[in-house]
Protein backbone atom coordinates (compact mmCIF):
# COMPACT_ATOMS: atom_id res chain seq x y z
CA UNK A 1 0.00 0.00 0.00
CA UNK A 2 1.21 3.49 -0.70
CA UNK A 3 2.05 5.53 2.36
CA UNK A 4 -0.28 8.37 1.44
CA UNK A 5 -3.27 6.07 2.02
CA UNK A 6 -2.44 5.96 5.67
CA UNK A 7 -2.22 9.66 6.29
CA UNK A 8 -4.92 10.56 8.77
CA UNK A 9 -7.02 7.75 7.40
CA UNK A 10 -8.06 9.83 4.43
CA UNK A 11 -8.93 7.86 1.36
CA UNK A 12 -6.90 8.79 -1.66
CA UNK A 13 -10.00 9.83 -3.53
CA UNK A 14 -10.81 12.52 -1.01
CA UNK A 15 -7.63 14.26 -1.97
CA UNK A 16 -7.43 13.65 -5.68
CA UNK A 17 -10.47 15.62 -6.61
CA UNK A 18 -8.62 18.91 -6.91
CA UNK A 19 -7.95 18.84 -10.60
CA UNK A 20 -11.14 17.22 -11.82
CA UNK A 21 -12.73 20.44 -13.00
CA UNK A 22 -10.18 20.66 -15.76
CA UNK A 23 -11.07 19.12 -19.14
CA UNK A 24 -8.38 17.72 -21.46
CA UNK A 25 -6.94 20.45 -23.65
CA UNK A 26 -6.67 19.72 -27.37
CA UNK A 27 -3.13 18.82 -28.47
CA UNK A 28 -1.17 21.03 -30.82
CA UNK A 29 -1.55 19.80 -34.39
CA UNK A 30 2.05 20.29 -35.41
CA UNK A 31 3.25 18.37 -32.37
CA UNK A 32 0.94 15.49 -33.20
CA UNK A 33 2.53 15.34 -36.62
CA UNK A 34 6.04 15.30 -35.18
CA UNK A 35 5.13 12.42 -32.90
CA UNK A 36 3.46 10.35 -35.62
CA UNK A 37 6.47 11.02 -37.84
CA UNK A 38 8.85 9.78 -35.20
CA UNK A 39 7.00 6.50 -34.92
CA UNK A 40 6.86 5.81 -38.66
CA UNK A 41 9.45 3.20 -39.68
CA UNK A 42 9.39 3.98 -43.41
CA UNK A 43 12.95 5.07 -44.31
CA UNK A 44 11.55 7.40 -46.97
CA UNK A 45 9.34 9.31 -44.55
CA UNK A 46 9.29 13.10 -44.88
CA UNK A 47 8.28 15.62 -42.24
CA UNK A 48 6.82 18.76 -43.78
CA UNK A 49 5.17 19.89 -40.57
CA UNK A 50 7.96 21.82 -38.84
CA UNK A 51 8.00 25.59 -39.03
CA UNK A 52 11.78 25.80 -38.75
CA UNK A 53 14.46 25.86 -41.42
CA UNK A 54 16.34 22.70 -42.44
CA UNK A 55 19.26 22.59 -44.85
CA UNK A 56 19.64 20.43 -47.94
CA UNK A 57 20.71 17.55 -45.70
CA UNK A 58 17.51 17.91 -43.68
CA UNK A 59 19.41 19.26 -40.67
CA UNK A 60 18.73 22.36 -38.59
CA UNK A 61 21.40 25.02 -39.01
CA UNK A 62 22.92 27.73 -36.88
CA UNK A 63 23.35 30.87 -38.96
CA UNK A 64 27.15 31.41 -39.15
CA UNK A 65 26.64 35.05 -38.16
CA UNK A 66 24.68 33.93 -35.11
CA UNK A 67 27.34 31.37 -34.22
CA UNK A 68 30.03 34.05 -34.33
CA UNK A 69 27.98 36.46 -32.30
CA UNK A 70 27.31 33.78 -29.73
CA UNK A 71 30.99 32.83 -29.51
CA UNK A 72 32.02 36.35 -28.70
CA UNK A 73 29.19 36.57 -26.22
CA UNK A 74 30.26 33.41 -24.43
CA UNK A 75 33.74 34.84 -24.07
CA UNK A 76 32.83 38.33 -22.98
CA UNK A 77 29.72 37.87 -20.88
CA UNK A 78 30.38 38.38 -17.17
CA UNK A 79 26.89 38.32 -15.70
CA UNK A 80 23.35 37.42 -16.51
CA UNK A 81 21.48 40.00 -14.49
CA UNK A 82 17.91 40.98 -15.22
CA UNK A 83 17.11 43.23 -18.12
CA UNK A 84 14.22 45.70 -17.81
CA UNK A 85 10.57 44.67 -17.82
CA UNK A 86 10.36 45.92 -21.40
CA UNK A 87 13.68 44.36 -22.24
CA UNK A 88 17.03 45.77 -23.10
CA UNK A 89 17.24 49.39 -24.25
CA UNK A 90 19.84 48.69 -26.97
CA UNK A 91 17.61 45.91 -28.28
CA UNK A 92 14.64 48.26 -28.38
CA UNK A 93 16.52 50.86 -30.36
CA UNK A 94 17.94 48.25 -32.72
CA UNK A 95 14.43 47.09 -33.52
CA UNK A 96 13.25 50.65 -34.04
CA UNK A 97 16.15 51.61 -36.22
CA UNK A 98 16.14 48.38 -38.22
CA UNK A 99 12.43 48.19 -38.85
CA UNK A 100 10.87 51.60 -38.57
CA UNK A 101 13.79 53.67 -39.75
CA UNK A 102 14.73 50.86 -42.13
CA UNK A 103 18.36 51.72 -41.34
CA UNK A 104 18.01 55.30 -42.59
CA UNK A 105 15.88 54.51 -45.58
CA UNK A 106 12.49 55.45 -44.15
CA UNK A 107 12.04 59.17 -43.56
CA UNK A 108 8.55 58.82 -42.14
CA UNK A 109 9.67 56.12 -39.73
CA UNK A 110 12.63 58.26 -38.69
CA UNK A 111 10.24 61.09 -37.93
CA UNK A 112 8.13 58.85 -35.74
CA UNK A 113 11.16 57.65 -33.84
CA UNK A 114 12.51 61.20 -33.47
CA UNK A 115 9.14 62.40 -32.25
CA UNK A 116 9.02 59.73 -29.52
CA UNK A 117 6.03 58.14 -31.11
CA UNK A 118 7.15 54.52 -31.05
CA UNK A 119 7.13 52.43 -27.90
CA UNK A 120 8.99 49.14 -28.17
CA UNK A 121 9.17 46.30 -25.70
CA UNK A 122 11.21 43.13 -26.02
CA UNK A 123 8.90 40.12 -25.67
CA UNK A 124 8.81 36.32 -25.60
CA UNK A 125 9.37 36.14 -29.35
CA UNK A 126 6.47 36.69 -31.76
CA UNK A 127 3.92 34.75 -29.74
CA UNK A 128 4.65 36.76 -26.63
CA UNK A 129 4.35 40.03 -28.52
CA UNK A 130 0.97 38.98 -29.91
CA UNK A 131 -0.12 38.08 -26.40
CA UNK A 132 1.05 41.34 -24.85
CA UNK A 133 -0.65 43.48 -27.49
CA UNK A 134 -3.83 41.39 -27.22
CA UNK A 135 -3.93 41.93 -23.46
CA UNK A 136 -3.18 45.61 -23.99
CA UNK A 137 -5.98 46.05 -26.54
CA UNK A 138 -8.46 44.23 -24.30
CA UNK A 139 -7.69 46.75 -21.60
CA UNK A 140 -7.43 49.93 -23.59
CA UNK A 141 -9.00 49.70 -27.03
CA UNK A 142 -12.63 50.66 -27.37
CA UNK A 143 -13.44 47.73 -29.69
CA UNK A 144 -12.78 44.16 -28.60
CA UNK A 145 -13.16 42.58 -31.99
CA UNK A 146 -10.20 41.48 -34.06
CA UNK A 147 -10.44 40.41 -37.69
CA UNK A 148 -7.92 37.81 -38.81
CA UNK A 149 -7.42 36.44 -42.32
CA UNK A 150 -8.98 33.12 -43.20
CA UNK A 151 -6.84 31.09 -42.99
CA UNK A 152 -4.21 32.27 -40.54
CA UNK A 153 -1.58 30.87 -38.16
CA UNK A 154 -3.57 28.59 -35.84
CA UNK A 155 -2.22 30.13 -32.66
CA UNK A 156 -3.40 33.64 -33.62
CA UNK A 157 -6.97 32.82 -32.76
CA UNK A 158 -6.02 30.93 -29.60
CA UNK A 159 -3.85 33.78 -28.30
CA UNK A 160 -6.36 36.52 -29.09
CA UNK A 161 -9.37 34.63 -27.77
CA UNK A 162 -7.62 33.61 -24.59
CA UNK A 163 -6.70 37.24 -23.97
CA UNK A 164 -10.35 38.19 -24.29
CA UNK A 165 -10.55 39.57 -27.82
CA UNK A 166 -13.33 38.41 -30.05
CA UNK A 167 -11.70 36.94 -33.16
CA UNK A 168 -13.51 36.84 -36.46
CA UNK A 169 -12.31 35.99 -39.98
CA UNK A 170 -12.01 38.24 -42.97
CA UNK A 171 -11.84 36.60 -46.38
CA UNK A 172 -8.31 36.11 -47.66
CA UNK A 173 -7.83 33.07 -49.82
CA UNK A 174 -9.85 31.18 -52.39
CA UNK A 175 -9.21 27.49 -51.91
CA UNK A 176 -10.68 26.56 -55.27
CA UNK A 177 -8.71 29.06 -57.26
CA UNK A 178 -5.61 28.63 -55.10
CA UNK A 179 -5.26 32.38 -55.08
CA UNK A 180 -5.79 35.45 -52.98
CA UNK A 181 -9.50 36.28 -52.81
CA UNK A 182 -9.04 40.00 -52.97
CA UNK A 183 -12.63 40.89 -53.90
CA UNK A 184 -14.02 39.19 -50.83
CA UNK A 185 -11.12 40.40 -48.71
CA UNK A 186 -12.02 44.02 -49.35
CA UNK A 187 -15.70 43.28 -49.02
CA UNK A 188 -15.36 41.65 -45.63
CA UNK A 189 -13.18 44.49 -44.36
CA UNK A 190 -15.74 46.99 -45.61
CA UNK A 191 -18.36 45.10 -43.63
CA UNK A 192 -16.21 44.99 -40.51
CA UNK A 193 -17.35 46.68 -37.32
CA UNK A 194 -15.76 50.14 -37.22
CA UNK A 195 -12.76 50.68 -34.93
CA UNK A 196 -12.07 46.96 -34.67
CA UNK A 197 -8.59 45.58 -34.80
CA UNK A 198 -7.43 44.04 -38.06
CA UNK A 199 -4.53 41.60 -38.19
CA UNK A 200 -2.26 41.92 -41.21
CA UNK A 201 0.59 39.58 -42.09
CA UNK A 202 3.45 41.83 -43.17
CA UNK A 203 4.86 39.28 -45.61
CA UNK A 204 4.98 35.53 -46.29
CA UNK A 205 1.44 34.97 -45.09
CA UNK A 206 1.21 31.86 -42.96
CA UNK A 207 -0.06 29.40 -44.14
CA UNK A 208 -0.79 30.44 -47.74
CA UNK A 209 2.46 32.18 -48.68
CA UNK A 210 0.34 34.60 -50.71
CA UNK A 211 0.89 38.28 -50.04
CA UNK A 212 -0.88 41.42 -51.21
CA UNK A 213 0.72 43.59 -53.89
CA UNK A 214 1.52 47.22 -53.03
CA UNK A 215 -1.56 48.27 -54.99
CA UNK A 216 -3.73 45.89 -53.04
CA UNK A 217 -2.29 47.11 -49.74
CA UNK A 218 -3.21 50.62 -50.83
CA UNK A 219 -6.86 49.58 -51.18
CA UNK A 220 -6.81 47.85 -47.80
CA UNK A 221 -5.22 50.84 -46.09
CA UNK A 222 -7.91 53.04 -47.57
CA UNK A 223 -10.61 50.84 -46.01
CA UNK A 224 -8.72 50.88 -42.73
CA UNK A 225 -8.88 54.66 -42.74
CA UNK A 226 -12.55 54.79 -43.65
CA UNK A 227 -13.59 52.24 -41.06
CA UNK A 228 -11.09 53.52 -38.49
CA UNK A 229 -9.76 50.01 -38.10
CA UNK A 230 -6.72 49.48 -35.88
CA UNK A 231 -3.90 47.76 -37.80
CA UNK A 232 -2.02 45.06 -35.94
CA UNK A 233 0.81 43.81 -38.10
CA UNK A 234 2.44 40.45 -37.52
CA UNK A 235 5.89 40.14 -39.05
CA UNK A 236 7.33 36.70 -38.31
CA UNK A 237 9.10 36.17 -41.63
CA UNK A 238 10.83 39.45 -42.41
CA UNK A 239 13.30 38.72 -45.20
CA UNK A 240 11.74 35.48 -46.37
CA UNK A 241 9.85 37.05 -49.26
CA UNK A 242 12.74 38.71 -51.09
CA UNK A 243 15.75 37.39 -49.18
CA UNK A 244 16.32 40.94 -47.95
CA UNK A 245 14.75 42.09 -44.69
CA UNK A 246 14.87 45.73 -45.78
CA UNK A 247 12.79 44.99 -48.84
CA UNK A 248 10.11 43.00 -47.09
CA UNK A 249 8.67 45.86 -45.13
CA UNK A 250 6.86 47.87 -47.77
CA UNK A 251 3.66 47.73 -45.76
CA UNK A 252 5.34 49.23 -42.73
CA UNK A 253 6.92 52.04 -44.69
CA UNK A 254 3.63 52.92 -46.30
CA UNK A 255 1.74 52.86 -43.04
CA UNK A 256 4.42 55.01 -41.39
CA UNK A 257 3.78 57.58 -44.09
CA UNK A 258 0.07 57.51 -43.43
CA UNK A 259 0.69 57.96 -39.72
CA UNK A 260 2.95 60.93 -40.34
CA UNK A 261 0.27 62.43 -42.58
CA UNK A 262 -2.22 62.01 -39.74
CA UNK A 263 -4.37 59.58 -41.69
CA UNK A 264 -3.85 56.60 -39.44
CA UNK A 265 -3.45 57.56 -35.79
CA UNK A 266 -1.73 54.51 -34.41
CA UNK A 267 -0.83 50.91 -35.19
CA UNK A 268 1.12 48.04 -33.66
CA UNK A 269 3.77 45.68 -34.92
CA UNK A 270 4.63 42.23 -33.60
CA UNK A 271 8.04 41.12 -34.71
CA UNK A 272 10.21 38.06 -34.20
CA UNK A 273 13.82 37.04 -34.90
CA UNK A 274 12.83 33.38 -34.59
CA UNK A 275 12.90 32.66 -38.31
CA UNK A 276 15.13 35.27 -39.88
CA UNK A 277 18.00 34.70 -37.43
CA UNK A 278 17.12 31.11 -36.68
CA UNK A 279 16.75 32.07 -33.02
CA UNK A 280 13.52 30.08 -32.64
CA UNK A 281 14.04 28.61 -29.18
CA UNK A 282 15.68 31.71 -27.69
CA UNK A 283 12.37 33.61 -27.83
CA UNK A 284 13.55 36.90 -29.22
CA UNK A 285 11.04 39.40 -30.52
CA UNK A 286 9.26 42.62 -29.81
CA UNK A 287 6.06 44.59 -29.74
CA UNK A 288 6.07 48.14 -31.02
CA UNK A 289 3.20 50.52 -30.67
CA UNK A 290 3.20 53.59 -32.87
CA UNK A 291 1.40 56.12 -30.73
CA UNK A 292 -0.47 59.34 -31.31
CA UNK A 293 1.81 61.58 -29.28
CA UNK A 294 4.93 61.56 -27.14
CA UNK A 295 2.73 61.96 -24.05
CA UNK A 296 0.77 58.91 -25.04
CA UNK A 297 4.04 57.05 -25.60
CA UNK A 298 4.93 57.62 -21.97
CA UNK A 299 1.60 56.33 -20.78
CA UNK A 300 1.70 53.32 -23.07
CA UNK A 301 5.25 52.47 -22.08
CA UNK A 302 4.25 52.46 -18.42
CA UNK A 303 1.13 50.42 -19.12
CA UNK A 304 3.13 47.82 -21.04
CA UNK A 305 5.39 47.45 -18.03
CA UNK A 306 2.43 47.13 -15.74
CA UNK A 307 1.05 44.41 -18.00
CA UNK A 308 4.26 42.44 -18.43
CA UNK A 309 5.46 42.49 -14.84
CA UNK A 310 2.70 40.10 -13.58
CA UNK A 311 3.09 37.83 -16.60
CA UNK A 312 6.81 37.10 -16.56
CA UNK A 313 8.71 40.08 -15.06
CA UNK A 314 11.25 40.46 -17.85
CA UNK A 315 12.22 38.78 -21.14
CA UNK A 316 15.11 36.33 -21.76
CA UNK A 317 18.44 37.95 -22.63
CA UNK A 318 20.45 35.37 -24.54
CA UNK A 319 18.75 35.89 -27.90
CA UNK A 320 18.58 39.65 -27.54
CA UNK A 321 22.29 39.78 -26.71
CA UNK A 322 22.97 37.88 -29.92
CA UNK A 323 20.86 40.38 -31.86
CA UNK A 324 22.68 43.25 -30.19
CA UNK A 325 26.05 41.72 -30.98
CA UNK A 326 25.16 41.30 -34.64
CA UNK A 327 23.77 44.79 -35.07
CA UNK A 328 26.67 46.46 -33.32
CA UNK A 329 29.22 44.89 -35.63
CA UNK A 330 28.96 45.87 -39.33
CA UNK A 331 30.76 42.70 -40.47
CA UNK A 332 28.44 40.46 -38.54
CA UNK A 333 25.46 42.37 -39.85
CA UNK A 334 26.66 41.95 -43.41
CA UNK A 335 27.27 38.28 -42.76
CA UNK A 336 23.77 37.85 -41.32
CA UNK A 337 22.17 39.45 -44.37
CA UNK A 338 24.14 36.99 -46.49
CA UNK A 339 23.09 34.03 -44.34
CA UNK A 340 19.46 34.99 -44.61
CA UNK A 341 19.69 35.46 -48.34
CA UNK A 342 21.15 31.98 -48.68
CA UNK A 343 18.43 30.39 -46.63
CA UNK A 344 15.72 32.08 -48.65
CA UNK A 345 17.59 31.19 -51.83
CA UNK A 346 17.47 27.51 -50.96
CA UNK A 347 13.76 27.67 -50.15
CA UNK A 348 13.06 29.24 -53.52
CA UNK A 349 15.23 26.71 -55.37
CA UNK A 350 13.41 23.85 -53.72
CA UNK A 351 10.06 25.44 -54.49
CA UNK A 352 11.03 25.64 -58.17
CA UNK A 353 12.31 22.08 -58.22
CA UNK A 354 9.13 20.77 -56.73
CA UNK A 355 7.10 22.82 -59.18
CA UNK A 356 9.04 21.41 -62.12
CA UNK A 357 8.54 17.85 -61.03
CA UNK A 358 4.84 18.14 -60.43
CA UNK A 359 2.49 16.78 -63.05
CA UNK A 360 0.51 19.72 -64.40
CA UNK A 361 -1.86 17.67 -66.54
CA UNK A 362 -4.17 16.87 -63.64
CA UNK A 363 -3.72 19.98 -61.52
CA UNK A 364 -2.71 23.56 -62.02
CA UNK A 365 0.34 24.16 -59.82
CA UNK A 366 1.01 27.76 -60.86
CA UNK A 367 0.16 29.08 -57.38
CA UNK A 368 3.37 27.55 -56.11
CA UNK A 369 5.42 30.03 -58.04
CA UNK A 370 3.50 32.96 -56.58
CA UNK A 371 3.82 31.91 -52.95
CA UNK A 372 6.61 33.19 -50.74
CA UNK A 373 8.21 32.21 -47.47
CA UNK A 374 8.71 28.96 -45.64
CA UNK A 375 5.54 27.29 -46.83
CA UNK A 376 3.86 25.84 -49.85
CA UNK A 377 0.10 25.92 -49.58
CA UNK A 378 -0.71 23.12 -51.94
CA UNK A 379 -4.47 23.21 -52.05
CA UNK A 380 -4.49 19.44 -51.57
CA UNK A 381 -7.60 18.19 -49.81
CA UNK A 382 -7.72 16.61 -46.39
CA UNK A 383 -8.27 13.20 -48.02
CA UNK A 384 -5.23 13.71 -50.21
CA UNK A 385 -3.14 14.74 -47.22
CA UNK A 386 -4.23 11.66 -45.31
CA UNK A 387 -3.37 9.49 -48.30
CA UNK A 388 0.05 11.16 -48.50
CA UNK A 389 0.64 10.29 -44.88
CA UNK A 390 -0.75 6.77 -44.91
CA UNK A 391 0.59 5.61 -48.24
CA UNK A 392 3.78 7.64 -48.58
CA UNK A 393 4.72 8.65 -45.05
CA UNK A 394 4.62 12.32 -45.98
CA UNK A 395 3.65 14.25 -42.86
CA UNK A 396 2.14 17.73 -42.93
CA UNK A 397 -0.91 19.56 -41.58
CA UNK A 398 -4.20 18.48 -43.07
CA UNK A 399 -4.85 21.94 -44.48
CA UNK A 400 -2.35 21.07 -47.21
CA UNK A 401 0.53 23.23 -45.99
CA UNK A 402 4.08 21.99 -46.59
CA UNK A 403 7.05 23.42 -44.82
CA UNK A 404 9.42 23.73 -47.77
CA UNK A 405 12.56 23.35 -45.76
CA UNK A 406 11.73 19.69 -45.16
CA UNK A 407 12.29 19.17 -48.88
CA UNK A 408 15.79 18.57 -50.27
CA UNK A 409 17.61 17.03 -53.22
CA UNK A 410 17.32 13.55 -51.84
CA UNK A 411 13.58 13.51 -51.29
CA UNK A 412 12.11 15.91 -53.83
CA UNK A 413 11.59 13.21 -56.48
CA UNK A 414 9.91 10.89 -54.05
CA UNK A 415 7.70 13.69 -52.77
CA UNK A 416 6.70 14.95 -56.22
CA UNK A 417 5.85 11.44 -57.27
CA UNK A 418 3.74 10.89 -54.15
CA UNK A 419 1.86 14.11 -54.76
CA UNK A 420 1.29 13.24 -58.42
CA UNK A 421 -0.09 9.87 -57.36
CA UNK A 422 -2.55 11.21 -54.82
CA UNK A 423 -3.70 13.94 -57.18
CA UNK A 424 -4.43 11.27 -59.79
CA UNK A 425 -6.15 9.00 -57.26
CA UNK A 426 -8.46 11.71 -55.95
CA UNK A 427 -9.21 13.55 -59.15
Residues forming contacts to ligand PLP in the complex (CB under 6 A) are: 51, 125-127, 153, 206, 234, 236, 272, 274, 280, 285, 313
How many whole angstroms separate alpha carbon 41 and alpha carbon 197? 46
Residue number of the CB atom closest to ligand PLP: 126
Three-state SS at 302 = helix
Q: Is 63 left (phi over 0), alpha (psi -120 to 50) or beta?
A: beta
Give the pairing type, strands 375-377 and 401-403: antiparallel
105 binds, among ligand PLP, another protein, none (CB under 5 to 8 A by kind): none
By beta-carbon proximity to ligand PLP, the closer residue of 49 and 126 is 126
Number of residues counted as binding another protein (CB under 8 A): 88
Catalytic site residue from 135, 211, 248, 275: 275
272 binds, among ligand PLP, another protein, none (CB under 5 to 8 A by kind): ligand PLP
Minimum CB–partner distance for residue 356 and ligand PLP (Å): 27
By beta-carbon proximity to another protein, the closer residue of 80 and 360 is 80
How many whole angstroms separate alpha carbon 259 and alpha carbon 255? 6
By beta-carbon proximity to ligand PLP, the closer residue of 285 and 400 is 285
41 binds, among ligand PLP, another protein, none (CB under 5 to 8 A by kind): none
Binding status of residue 128 toward another protein by CB under 8 A: yes
Catalytic site residue from 45, 153, 181, 336: 153
Decide: 246 and 406 in contact? Cβ < 8 Å: no
Minimum CB–partner distance for residue 316 and another protein (Å): 4
285 binds, among ligand PLP, another protein, none (CB under 5 to 8 A by kind): ligand PLP
315 binds, among ligand PLP, another protein, none (CB under 5 to 8 A by kind): another protein
Residue 391 annotated in active site: no
Binding status of residue 83 toward another protein by CB under 8 A: yes
Exposed e or buried b for every residue in 71-107, given b needs 16+ CB within 10 A?
eeeeeeeeeeeebbbbbbeebbebbbbbbbbbeeebe
Q: Shortest CA distance to 344 belongs to which of 284, 273, 276?
A: 276
With 0-12 / 13-18 / 19 or more C-beta atoms within 10 angstroms meaning exposed / middle / buried, residue 226 is exposed
By beta-carbon proximity to ligand PLP, the closer residue of 375 and 392 is 375
Binding status of residue 18 toward another protein by CB under 8 A: yes
Residue 153 annotated in active site: yes
Residue 234 annotated in active site: yes
Beta-bridge mates of residue 272: 285
C-alpha pair distances (Å), 6 with each of 11, 16, 17, 159, 207: 8, 15, 18, 44, 55
What positions carry a catalytic annotation? 153, 234, 275
Amino acid sequence: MQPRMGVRGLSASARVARWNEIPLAPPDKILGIAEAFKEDSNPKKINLGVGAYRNNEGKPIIFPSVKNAERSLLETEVEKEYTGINGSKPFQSIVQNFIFNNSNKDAAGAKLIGGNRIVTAQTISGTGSLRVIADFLVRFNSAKKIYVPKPTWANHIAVFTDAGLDAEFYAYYDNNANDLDFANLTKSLEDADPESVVLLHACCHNPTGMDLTPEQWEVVLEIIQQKKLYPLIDMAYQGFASGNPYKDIGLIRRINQLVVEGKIPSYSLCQSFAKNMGLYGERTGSISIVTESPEQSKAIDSQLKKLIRPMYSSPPIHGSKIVETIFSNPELLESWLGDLDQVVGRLNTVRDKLYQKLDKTNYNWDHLTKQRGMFVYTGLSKEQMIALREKYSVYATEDGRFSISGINDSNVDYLANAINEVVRDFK
